Structure 1
Amino acid sequence: MLRLRLLTWDVKDTLLRLRRPVGESYAAEARAHGVRVQPEALSRAFREAYGAQNRQFPNYGQGQGLSSQQWWVDVVKQTFRLSGVHEEGILTLMAEKLYRDFCSACNWEVLPGAGETLSRCHQHGFHMGVVSNFDNRLENVLSQCNLRHHFEFVLTSEDAGFAKPDGRIFEKALRLGGVPPEQAAHIGDDYARDYRAARAVGMHSFLLRAAGQGEEPEVPPEHVLPTLSHLLARIEMG
């Protein structure tokens, strides 16, 4: 059995997921302002706008003078512009409303088994924290989704100043948890940012991957979680 004291968790698509595609949420907000845009077009435009913003201003513009709110407002406005909406007043209203909406449980839901697995990990005496490439709305999102109480700390890339797969965010989490890396494991759904990045600093890690998702040759089967409810058994096997 692995001698673990600290478990760190990714959030998006590990513990929480969006209730509906981004394009549908954006299209509904547009309709409320009398603007008709196809959800599929908005989803495509969002991927383009988000990618461009992330390349130009990585990690929410940390160190480049942007707040994460301004970063997101710019992404939303550009998404709508790419979809043919150019009225600046409406763009600002929609962007600010969507920024607030994505802070709440109306747009996020807990993945099956997440709450139960976190409770069982608590019962086994593990300390737990979050390590997420999220902005500073995450505390509120976790509270609204009734998960915040499971964690001793919530470390976002905005707070840390580094985004996964940068090892420094994991090193900061280890300091917050007060344990050496060999006594910690990270759980997440992304091979490079979660599984491999945590191992690079000496932590254990487990990769959440539903059946049928792509196989990564470097991940031994005992490190793969078909569902979160497999976690404790994997730790005991280790």
Structure 2
Amino acid sequence: MQPQVVTFDAGHTLIELDLEFLARRLGERGVHVEPGALDAAAPAAWRLYDELAATADHPWKELMNALLSGAGVMEPKPHVDWLWDQQREHNLWRTPMPGMVERARDLAGRGVVCAVLSNSEGTLQKLLERIGIADPFRTIIDSGNLPFAKPDARIFHHTLEVLGLPDARPVHIGDSWSADVEAALAVGWDAIWYRSRGGAPGKELNVPIAHDPAEARAALATFGL
């Protein structure tokens, strides 16, 4: 019997943007911005990210430009370029999201094959190991090490090849409607939309939505997991 497979996005599914760390990093460049201002600017920045993620691979700089400008940073582009150059060694997504890694550990303990499938910068495995949350995952797929990224179907097929389970039908959990949910459905996977931002999608699809780990557990149960 083929094992069940669950893949997790990383950013805002397993780990979240550390706004206090971002504010400190900007402070190194003489830019004073309060974490609260960044937090207030985040919803609009993420809406832009989700729009762009449908057609662009990992629009990181666009997200950060919107976030910093929304928080009142004048001429954010040079700071965003610097943050991007520093990202591999000083990843801004560094705070584990409470409860979600425990969901993965619970699944792995029951024999489910768990993996990470994320658009990142090439050092995601090192980051997850450093913060102590890599253990439940059979593999960590990082677009920064590949010539393609979500929503490209190739990264989903590549994940199954790495797992040695080319015929599996995984459940993918992620926060981006376009890059995670629609992309997973397009390759024949199932999907859970985690912690949606900005309301419902523009079209109706029969996809479970989870706003917290308890709801994620209930959503997984609908797939027999």
Q: Same fold (TM over 0.5)?
A: yes
* CA 1:29–1:115: 2 relative to 1, 3 Å: closer
Q: Deviations over 1:39-93 (max 9, x none)?
A: 558x79xx6xx98xx99xx6589xxxxxxxxx98xx89xx79x73599x9x9998
The TM-score, its normalising length taken from structure 1, stands at: 0.67
Q: Specify which structure has the higher proportion of helix.
A: 1
Task: Look up the match of 1:28.
Answer: 24
1:152-231 to 2 correspondences below 5 Å: 152-209=138-195, 214-216=199-201, 217-220=203-206, 223-226=208-211, 227-231=215-219
Task: Look up the match of 1:149.
Answer: 135
Task: Look up the match of 1:65.
Answer: none
Work out the CA distance in 2 between the residues paired with 1:119 and 1:126.
Answer: 9
* CA 1:8–1:84: 2 relative to 1, 3 Å: closer
Matching residue within 219, 228, 236 for 2:224: 236
* CA 1:30–1:5: 2 relative to 1, 3 Å: closer
The TM-score, its normalising length taken from structure 2, stands at: 0.70
* SS of equivalent to 1:170: helix
The question of whether the paired residues in 2 share the 8 Å contact of 1:16 and 1:111 is answered with yes
Work out the CA distance in 2 between the residues paired with 1:93 and 1:182.
Answer: 40
Consecutive unaligned residues of structure 1, counting only runs of 5 or more, are: 62-70
The question of whether the paired residues in 2 share the 8 Å contact of 1:186 and 1:204 is answered with yes
The question of whether the paired residues in 2 share the 8 Å contact of 1:133 and 1:156 is answered with yes
The question of whether the paired residues in 2 share the 8 Å contact of 1:60 and 1:158 is answered with no
Task: Look up the match of 1:123.
Answer: 109
Aligned Cα root-mean-square deviation (Å): 3.9
* CA 1:214–1:4: 2 relative to 1, 3 Å: farther
The question of whether the paired residues in 2 share the 8 Å contact of 1:206 and 1:224 is answered with yes
Consecutive unaligned residues of structure 2, counting only runs of 5 or more, are: none
Task: Look up the match of 2:90.
Answer: 101
Q: Deviations over 1:179-210 (max 9, x none)?
A: 24553221111111111111111112121136
The question of whether the paired residues in 2 share the 8 Å contact of 1:14 and 1:111 is answered with yes
Work out the CA distance in 1 between the residues paired with 2:158 and 2:107.
Answer: 22
**1:230 Cα deviation (Å)?**
2.4
How many matched pairs? 201
Work out the CA distance in 2 between the residues paired with 1:209 and 1:159.
Answer: 27
Task: Look up the match of 1:83.
Answer: 74
